[in-house]
Amino acid sequence: MSIENKVIFITGGSSGLGEAIARHAAAEGAKVFLTARRKDRLETIVADIEKAGGKAAFKTADVTDAVQVKAAADAATEAFGAIDVLVNNAGLMPLSPMGKLKTDEWETMVDVNIKGVLNAIAATLPDMQARESGHIINMSSVAGHKVFPGAAVYCGTKFAVRAISEGLRAENAGKLRVTNVSPGAVNTELTSTISDPDAKDMANNLYEIAIGADAIARAVVFAIKEPDDVSVNELIIRPTKQEL
């Protein structure tokens, strides 16, 4: 199936997986609308896509602010028409043992990784339900399948994303498609938010085998390309060498 002219709304679109998904989808003819906080990065990505003959636009927004996310979704609809696909990609991973009591980081992860996902769903779901057509793709993690030391809160947020995905799928069975994507170690900026030295070392050691972000982009586009009566519910993509 072709994704040509599908309108894809991507949060966390200024780098990493969001950027890779946008570039890959646009190259296949989709109309991509990006949102994130970094305007300069969004401008560069959109300019690159347009220079290559693709269709792209953006509006800055902080996913923790429901009003900003709704404004971005409205801007996407105004620019390209009804949103066919939401890619809920924005996320942070400031790992640390719970005993370090990095409560500010806990709150940030909950705000971005859980509330940010909910804000984007709230901004796009009503129109999809009214049309009985749409696809919501939520970015979880292998950490949403297995809990490991130094990542309890992060794992908690990613288990929550999986639960939200499954609940959303069950509530909209036969009308909307929902895909939960769980990447393993991928070469992005995700580890840059880790402030705890030991957790940073642990992550850096794991990420020595990281795969490219385009691997996730290809998987996302694969899920979108499936016919409307086929819903790819769960994807786990990680390096072949990764044990976790």
User: Which residues have a catalytic role annotated?
Assistant: 154
**DSSP class per residue in 177-238:** EEEEEEE-SBSSSGGGG---HHHHHHHHHHGGGPBPHHHHHHHHHHHHHS-TT----EEEE-
Instruction: For residue 96, give the nearest of 207, 208, 195 by alpha carbon.
Output: 195
Q: What are phi and psi of 95, to 5 degrees?
A: -70, 150
Tokens of 81: 């028409």
Q: What is the three-class DSSP state of 145?
A: coil
Q: How far apart are CA 91 and CA 161, in angstroms?
A: 11
